[in-house]
Amino acid sequence: KLWVIEGRVFAAVRRSELADPDRGPARSPAPGDLPDGWARLALRVGSVFGLRVYGVDVIDAGDGAPLIVDINAFPGIRGQAGAPEALAELALRTAERGAVPHS
C-alpha cells in the first residue's frame, strides 16, 4: 500500500488475507526500502490523474515489477509517521492560498 501527500510517499507492506498468517504483521518500510521503481510509479499516478493526496495499492507481479490494483483519491492513511503533519501542512498551504485542491 502506497500513499502520496504532495509528492511525499508513505508505504506499508500488508499481507494478503490469503497469505500465510505466520509470515508476520504489516510493516511500514521507508520509501527508499521499496522495490525499485515503486515510489516513482506512485508519484506518476498522481501526475497522470492530477492528484495531490491519494493511495495506490500495488502488488508484486512475481518478478518485482509493480502491478497497480487500485487507486484511491480519498485514502485512509493510518499508522504512517509524518502523514498527519504532511496533511496538516497541505491544508494550511491550501487555506493560505485560498485554492481548492484537486483531491
The mean per-residue pLDDT over the stretch 1-28 comes to 73
Predicted local confidence at residue 47, as pLDDT: 95
Q: What is the pLDDT of residue 101?
A: 57
Q: What is the pLDDT of residues 71-101, one digit of tens each?
A: 988 777 777 777 778 777 877 877 788 756 5
Q: Given this model, what pLDDT does residue 102 score?
A: 61
Instruction: Give the torsion sign (CA, 60, 65, 69, 73).
Output: positive
Pick the CATH number of 2-97 from 3.30.470.20, 3.40.50.300, 3.40.640.10, 3.40.1360.10: 3.30.470.20
28-66 pLDDT per residue, tens: 666 567 888 899 999 999 999 999 999 999 988 888 788
Question: For position 56, what pLDDT does the model report?
Answer: 95
DSSP H or E run through 8: strand 8-11
Does residue 5 have a pLDDT over 70? yes
Burial 84-96 (b: 16+ CB within 10 A, else e): eebeeebeeeeee
